Each structure stands twice: as structure tokens, then as C-alpha cells.
């Protein structure tokens, strides 16, 4: 016992003597805010709050009447006389926020707030007047949409620079959570450049602990000056309410996408034509660079193949932008318009090389889908690629266009199309790419026979 007391005494003495090299924080003085003054950010966010609007969208959804409901016995049993009209349509409503970006009525919001809406209305802060809004353009890849109302001299928000943000910066989320009216929540920038969240195709999120709840979507994330630094987009939650993990689309991405939507009604992304992956611990052993996007495959006829890129090349830079992983490369290439030349820096056989590549337009191989009337209403198609063949085990001798989605109760659904079907022929025209379908539809008027390969079996469907 005496020995233990002696050892403890010696250890305490050593610590007091500073013999163990702990780094001590300097003494700090505790202070009160200046006497008689209240610390407030009201002035900073007041103007920004005037630029955040309420957005309500309505979509009419057709409902099919089950055949049993038309049976006379069923209707008589449930006292449903034939003279009484049965509901065939229901209204789906969504509520979100938007940010006025120009004084003549252009408003940025989330794509998921207004997607496929039949009616969009906007209410300005402090007002009960509703404005009919026109959807100027939507971009599902980034979850950004632009709508417009007919109004003049509106307050437009000041734009910040999301590239200059730092973790720990004070931020405010402004929106209309749960439809209770305009409100502001405060937090910090928790992280930057968050990707692989699985929300959008192009992700470079600002993560914040400022409360972002349902209805905040499309609202503003502003800094302590009141400048817009992001558009609130999503939360990670199990309960449906905020758990301190919210995401916003950086304002620099918003400006680029919104500009294209306003000017062209759509967004065009640069296309390189490679399948890419990240470096794991084993792969890092065979490369000099420890960050980058490794090329897994190069598609034929693409800018990447024309530039001489190969499987195994590690791309580490696009122009002056460093590439840390596959998501960085996807965002960097996607942010460059088609037709523009970029310089790629890459490692091959432990040597650093560079090459100039002129990017192509991102393939738009979807024909029809949603409520669009393309080949068949409600049908989404994509040209069969080598990567899809490998992923889905489709033999090399099968050529065609694959059905990626069929909208329930659409014309495509009623015609008998199913996801995974491969359209190989329309009448006497062989189908190898999406463009062949358009030619066949013009060539053969009236009802047409469509041959599909369904899990190795050939089916014939008839479309008009």
C-alpha cells in the first residue's frame, strides 16, 4: 500500500513538473457581450429572407378502377349505384421553397419540388397573393429547377462563392418547414464536397447542421452576411424530421445550372466516355499518386478513346482542378460544356502524362418517359452499352435498345412493355440504337409490330 501511494505521488509530481509533454491551451478570459447590446444577425439575413418564397405544386394522378368495382353484384352489395360517378383522379400536392435570383421573377428551387407538376404556385414572403409559375427548366441530375412568375422589381438574393466556404462557417437555412410559414434556422458548415450520398447524379454537397426540414427544400442557405451559398436539398433522417445532417447544393453549381436552364431550357453536360472507380488501399500500392479516378473501361468512339486513354490510367487533374476520386472526375467533366477542350493529367505505368480532350455531349438516350409522348408514352429507353452488357449479363450477339422504366398504367404498360426488355426490331427495321426507333416510327404509320427480347425469348408487341 505504501508503495502504491509512493508511485502515485511521484507520478503526480512529474505531471506537475511538466515532464510529460502535453500541449496546454493558453489561458483565456471569459467575457460578456458588450453591456446593453444584443448579439443578432437580423440585419444580415433580413434581405435574404425577402427573397425566399413558398412554392406549392400539384400533380393530377389518374386512378384506375379495379374491374371488380364494375361488377353489378359488388356495386349493389356496397350500395354503389351506376348513376354515381366514381373518382378517377386524385391530386398529389407538394410544398417547398424557392429563391428569387432575378428581379424579373426567375426563381430557383429543387427539381423534386416541381417535377411533373401540372400546376405550380408561388407566394411571396409577407403576402397572401399567389402567382402562377411557369416551369422554365428542370435538371434531375443536380435536383435544380428554375420557375418564373410574372412580376417586376422583386428583391433578388445576393450570390456568394461556395468555393470559398470553410468548415465551421456560420450559416442560416431559410425556408418554409412543414408549411408553417417562413422561418430561419442557424448552424455551421459541417463538411464540404460531400458525395456518394445517393441523392443526385452529380453531388458536391455542403453538409450543415442547420435544421432543414420538409418544406425547406429549395430554400436558401446563406452565410452570416446574408449571401446565398447553397440551395437546401435534402436531409438524412429516419423519423422524417431533422437530425442535424442536412445537405445543400453549392451556389456555384446552382449558378451554372440555372444559367443554362434560363438560356436554353435544359442543361448539357460534358461527356468523356469512361467507366471509373476509386483507389482502394491495394490499388494505391501500384500508383505513385495516392488520389485520383482510375479508368476501368473506355467506350468505343468516345472522346476518351480518341484521346488514347486506356483502362488502368489514373486521372489526377482536369485542367487546374485536382481529382481526388471518381466523384470529383464526374463533377469536373460534367461542369464543362460539350465541345470544349480540357487537359487531363493522368498516371500510366507510374509516369505522369497529359492529353487534351474535346468533350462530347452527354448521350441523351432516353426516349419518352413520365408524361412525355415519345416512342410510346410512359416508356424510358437507353441504348445498350458494353458496360450494361457486363452488368446485366447480356450476350454480345444481342443488339438493341433496352427498356429502363415503364410508367404504371401508361400506354407503354398497357402495350405490355416491361423493364429489361430489349427492343430489337420494329416491323422490318433492325434496332441497334435509340435513333433507329425514331426512323422506324416515321417509316411505318399506323399499328406496328415491335419485337423485344425478354430474358432470351422473343415477344411481339403492337404499338401505334
Enumerate residues 6+ apart whose C-beta is below 8 A from 14.
Answer: 20
Confidence of residue 178 (pLDDT cuts 50, 70, 90): low
Enumerate residues 6+ apart whose C-beta is below 8 A from 155.
Answer: 47, 50, 51, 100, 103
CATH architecture of 162-264: Beta Barrel (2.40)
**Most confidently modeled of 240-254, 317-331, 401-415?**
317-331
Above 70 in pLDDT, residue 5? no
In terms of Cα–Cα distance, which of 102, 111, 321, 56 is closest to 231? Answer: 111
For residues 172 and 162, the answer to whether their CB atoms sit within 8 Å is no
pLDDT averaged over the chain? 80
Residue labelled with grid coordinates 449479363: 393
Above 80 in pLDDT, residue 449? yes
Count CB neighbours of 178 within 10 A: 13
CA–CA gap between residue 45 and residue 172 (Å, rounded): 8
Dihedral sign computed on CA atoms, order 317, 323, 325, 331: negative
Count CB neighbours of 20 within 10 A: 8
Q: What per-residue confidence (pLDDT) applies to 82?
A: 47
Count CB neighbours of 227 within 10 A: 17
Dihedral sign computed on CA atoms, order 11, 13, 16, 18: negative
Q: What per-residue confidence (pLDDT) applies to 170?
A: 92
Above 80 in pLDDT, residue 72? no
Q: What per-residue confidence (pLDDT) applies to 85?
A: 46
Above 80 in pLDDT, residue 456? no
Q: Decide whether 270-361 matches 379-463 in CATH topology.
A: yes
Enumerate residues 6+ apart whose C-beta is below 8 A from 8.
Answer: none
What average pLDDT does this structure show over 329-339?
A: 87
Q: What per-residue confidence (pLDDT) applies to 259?
A: 92
> Domain 379-463 carries which CATH code?
2.30.42.10
CA–CA gap between residue 140 and residue 379 (Å, rounded): 17
**What cell was used for 144?**
435544380
What average pLDDT does this structure show over 120-145?
A: 88
Confidence of residue 341 (pLDDT cuts 50, 70, 90): very high
Above 60 in pLDDT, residue 387? yes
pLDDT tens sequence across 182-202: 888 888 999 887 766 555 666
For residues 257 and 142, the answer to whether their CB atoms sit within 8 Å is yes
What average pLDDT does this structure show over 283-306?
A: 88
Confidence of residue 221 (pLDDT cuts 50, 70, 90): very high
Residues above pLDDT 70, as percent of the chain: 79
Confidence of residue 93 (pLDDT cuts 50, 70, 90): low
Q: What per-residue confidence (pLDDT) applies to 396?
A: 78
Residue labelled with grid coordinates 450543415: 208
Confidence of residue 84 (pLDDT cuts 50, 70, 90): very low
**Domain 46-149, CATH number (from 2.40.10.10, 1.10.1520.10, 3.30.420.40, 3.40.50.720):** 2.40.10.10
- The number of angstroms, rounded, from the C-alpha of 42 to the middle of its chain's C-alpha atoms is 32
Above 80 in pLDDT, residue 390? no
For residues 329 and 357, the answer to whether their CB atoms sit within 8 Å is no
Residues above pLDDT 90, as percent of the chain: 22
Q: What per-residue confidence (pLDDT) applies to 251?
A: 92
In terms of Cα–Cα distance, which of 19, 48, 66, 37 is closest to 226? Answer: 48
CA–CA gap between residue 98 and residue 386 (Å, rounded): 41
Name the residues annotated as catalytic: 112, 143, 217
Confidence of residue 349 (pLDDT cuts 50, 70, 90): confident
What average pLDDT does this structure show over 146-150?
A: 93
What average pLDDT does this structure show over 335-356?
A: 90
Confidence of residue 368 (pLDDT cuts 50, 70, 90): very low
What average pLDDT does this structure show over 80-105?
A: 69
- The size of the chain, in residues, is 464
Where do the structural domains in the chain lie, given as residue ranges?
A: 46-149, 162-264, 270-361, 379-463
In terms of Cα–Cα distance, which of 447, 270, 440 is closest to 361? Answer: 270
Listed range (190-204, 378-392, 395-409) with the worst mean pLDDT: 190-204
Residue 427: beta bridge partners?
none
CATH topology of domain 270-361: Pdz3 Domain (2.30.42)
Confidence of residue 102 (pLDDT cuts 50, 70, 90): very high
pLDDT tens sequence across 14-40: 545 457 878 787 888 888 777 778 888
In terms of Cα–Cα distance, which of 250, 426, 240 is closest to 335? Answer: 250
**What cell was used for 226?**
446574408
Above 90 in pLDDT, residue 379? no
Amino acid at each position: 500500500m505504501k508503495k502504491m501511494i509512493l508511485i502515485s505521488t511521484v507520478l503526480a509530481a512529474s505531471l506537475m513538473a511538466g515532464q510529460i509533454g502535453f500541449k496546454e491551451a493558453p489561458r483565456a478570459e471569459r467575457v460578456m457581450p458588450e453591456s446593453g447590446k444584443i448579439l443578432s444577425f437580423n440585419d444580415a439575413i433580413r434581405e435574404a429572407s425577402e427573397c425566399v418564397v413558398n412554392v406549392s405544386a400539384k400533380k393530377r394522378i389518374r386512378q384506375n378502377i379495379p374491374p371488380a368495382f364494375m361488377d353489378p353484384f359488388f356495386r349493389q352489395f356496397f350500395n354503389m349505384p351506376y348513376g354515381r360517378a366514381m373518382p378517377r383522379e386524385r391530386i398529389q400536392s407538394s410544398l417547398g421553397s424557392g429563391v428569387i435570383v432575378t428581379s424579373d421573377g426567375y426563381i430557383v428551387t429543387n427539381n423534386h419540388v416541381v417535377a411533373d407538376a401540372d400546376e405550380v404556385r408561388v407566394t411571396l414572403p409577407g403576402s397572401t397573393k399567389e402567382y402562377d409559375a411557369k416551369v422554365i427548366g428542370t435538371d434531375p441530375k443536380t435536383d435544380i429547377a428554375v420557375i418564373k412568375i410574372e412580376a417586376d422589381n422583386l428583391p433578388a438574393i445576393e450570390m456568394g462563392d461556395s468555393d470559398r466556404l470553410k468548415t465551421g462557417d456560420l450559416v442560416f437555412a431559410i425556408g418554409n418547414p412543414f408549411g408553417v410559414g417562413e422561418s430561419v434556422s442557424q448552424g455551421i458548415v459541417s463538411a464540404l464536397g460531400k458525395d456518394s450520398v445517393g441523392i443526385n447524379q452529380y453531388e458536391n454537397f455542403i453538409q450543415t447542421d442547420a435544421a432543414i426540414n420538409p418544406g425547406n427544400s429549395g430554400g436558401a442557405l446563406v452565410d452570416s452576411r446574408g449571401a446565398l451559398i447553397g440551395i437546401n436539398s435534402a436531409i438524412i433522417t429516419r423519423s422524417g424530421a431533422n437530425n442535424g445532417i442536412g445537405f445543400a447544393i453549392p451556389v456555384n453549381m446552382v449558378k451554372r445550372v440555372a444559367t443554362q436552364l434560363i438560356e436554353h431550357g435544359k442543361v448539357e453536360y460534358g461527356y468523356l466516355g469512361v467507366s471509373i472507380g476509386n483507389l482502394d488501399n491495394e490499388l494505391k500500392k501500384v500508383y505513385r499518386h495516392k488520389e485520383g479516378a482510375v479508368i476501368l473501361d473506355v467506350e468505343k468512339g468516345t472522346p476518351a478513346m480518341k484521346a488514347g486513354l486506356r483502362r488502368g490510367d489514373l486521372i489526377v487533374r482536369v485542367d487546374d482542378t485536382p481529382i481526388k476520386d471518381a466523384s470529383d472526375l464526374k463533377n469536373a467533366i460534367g461542369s464543362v460544356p460539350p465541345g470544349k477542350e480540357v487537359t487531363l493529367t493522368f498516371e500510366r505505368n507510374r509516369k505522369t502524362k497529359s492529353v487534351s480532350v474535346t468533350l462530347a455531349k452527354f448521350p441523351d438516350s432516353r426516349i419518352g418517359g413520365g408524361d412525355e409522348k415519345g416512342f410510346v408514352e410512359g416508356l424510358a429507353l437507353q441504348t445498350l452499352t458494353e458496360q450494361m452488357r457486363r452488368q446485366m449479363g447480356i450476350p454480345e450477339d444481342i443488339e438493341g435498345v433496352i427498356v429502363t422504366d415503364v410508367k404504371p398504367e401508361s400506354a407503354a404498360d398497357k402495350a405490355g412493355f416491361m423493364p429489361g426488355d430489349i427492343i430489337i426490331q420494329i416491323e422490318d427495321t433492325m434496332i441497334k440504337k435509340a435513333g433507329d426507333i425514331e426512323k422506324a416510327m416515321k417509316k411505318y404509320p399506323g399499328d406496328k409490330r415491335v419485337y423485344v427480347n425478354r430474358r432470351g425469348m422473343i415477344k411481339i408487341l403492337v404499338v401505334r
